[in-house]
Amino acid sequence: MLAAELGEYCGKNAIVGAILRGGLIVALEIAEAIGGEIEIILAKKLGAPGNPELAVGAVSENGKVVVNKSIASKVGADEQYIDVEHHIQSEQIELLIKKYRGILPKRNLTGRTVILTDDGVATGATMKASIWTVRQENPETLIVALPVGPEETVKDLSKYVDELVCLRAPHSFSAVGQFYEEFDQVDESDVMRILKKESCKWT
C-alpha cells in the first residue's frame, strides 16, 4: 500500500533509507516496487536528560552531530551533557558499522532522492534523528514514507522534510503493532539476508 503511494518515484533512481530493523522490511517492498536502492540509516538520537525518547539531536555514522538548540535549551541538555551522550551513541554506531557495512557499503546520498521509512512511528524521535542525519548529506529531495503514526508526530516530522507520506495518522494511538495483523520481531538473520541480497544486486 505504501509503495503504491510512491509510484511517482518509479524509475527515478531513488534511495530508500531503512531504519533498522522493521524499517528494512518496509524499505525492501518500496525499493522493489519503484526500482530503488536500499540504504540503512545508522543514526542515533541524542536523548534528553531523564527522557531518552526525546531527541535533542542526532549523531550520524560519520561522527557528525546535529543539535536542536531550542529543544536542548528547554530540557537542560548543556554542552557537557551532549558531549557525553554523543560519546555513548557513537560507540553504538561503531558496533553497527562493523556488523553491517562490510555487507552493504555506505551509499552517497548527495544530490539523490531519498525516501526514509520505518514500520511506523510513535514518538518519532528515531525518525527525526534519521532525518537530521540524512540532511547533512544534502540530498536533492527528502521524503518520509510511513505506514502509520500518531497525528501529532506526523505533523511534527513533516516540518523537516520535503514530502511526507503516511497511510494512517489516527487520533487514538497506542503502539505501532496495533495496526498490523502480524508484527513479529525482525530477526538478525533476516537483516543479514536482505543486506547480502541487496549488495549482490548493486555491485
pLDDT at 202: 61
Listed by start position, the domains of the chain span 2-41+107-202, 44-100
Report CA 6 to chain centroid distance, whole Å. 17
Residue 107: per-residue pLDDT: 93
- Residue 129, C-alpha cell as written in the block: 534523528
Q: How many CA atoms lie within 13 A of 111 on its CB side?
A: 1
* pLDDT (0 to 100) of residue 128: 92
Per-residue model confidence (pLDDT) at position 200: 86
State how far the Cα of 160 lies from the Cα of 178, in Å rounded to an integer.
26
Tens digits of per-residue pLDDT, 37-72? 999 999 899 999 999 888 999 898 888 888 989 899
What pLDDT does residue 203 have?
55
Strand 141-148: give its sheet, edge to edge.
37-40, 15-18, 113-117, 141-148, 163-168
Q: Which contacts (CB < 8 Å, 24+ apart) does range 48-56 have? A: 48/72, 48/75, 48/77, 49/75, 49/76, 49/77, 49/81, 51/75, 53/123, 53/125, 54/123, 54/125, 55/125, 55/126, 55/128, 55/129, 56/82
Note the pLDDT of residue 64: 86
Residues of the chain with pLDDT under 70: 202-203
CATH tag, 44-100: 3.30.1310.20
Cβ 93 vs Cβ 44: under 8 Å: yes
**What is the CATH code for 2-41+107-202?**
3.40.50.2020
